[in-house]
């Protein structure tokens, strides 16, 4: 199980991040939910296979 913190960090660093819903309120950002709110996140996995790649880059930096 991937932690919410990891999903947030990955989503913040992901160029392919696309929120599933348009968020109207400035107080609630979709990004604060990380990959969970990304259209490419399906069945608890990144359908574009970017998650591991980005996570690796972050952890080596």
Residue 11 in contact with ligand SF4, rule: CB under 6 A: yes
- 16 vs 4, 27, 39, 48, CA distance in Å? 18, 23, 9, 9
Please select the residue that binds ligand SF4; options are 19, 23, 50, 61, rule is CB under 6 A: 50
Residue 17 in contact with ligand SF4, rule: CB under 6 A: yes
Q: What 8-state DSSP symbol labels residue 16?
A: T
Distance CA 10, CA 22 (A): 20
Residue 33 in contact with ligand SF4, rule: CB under 6 A: no
Residues of this chain that bind ligand SF4 (CB under 6 A): 10-11, 14, 16-17, 35, 38, 40-41, 46, 48, 50-51, 54
């Amino acid at each position: 199980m991937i932690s919410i913190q990891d999903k947030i960090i990955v989503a913040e660093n992901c160029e392919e991040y696309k929120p599933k819903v348009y968020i109207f309120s400035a107080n609630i950002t979709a990004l604060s939910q990380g990959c969970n709110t990304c259209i490419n996140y399906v069945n608890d996995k990144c359908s574009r296979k970017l998650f591991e790649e980005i996570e690796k880059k972050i952890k080596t930096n």
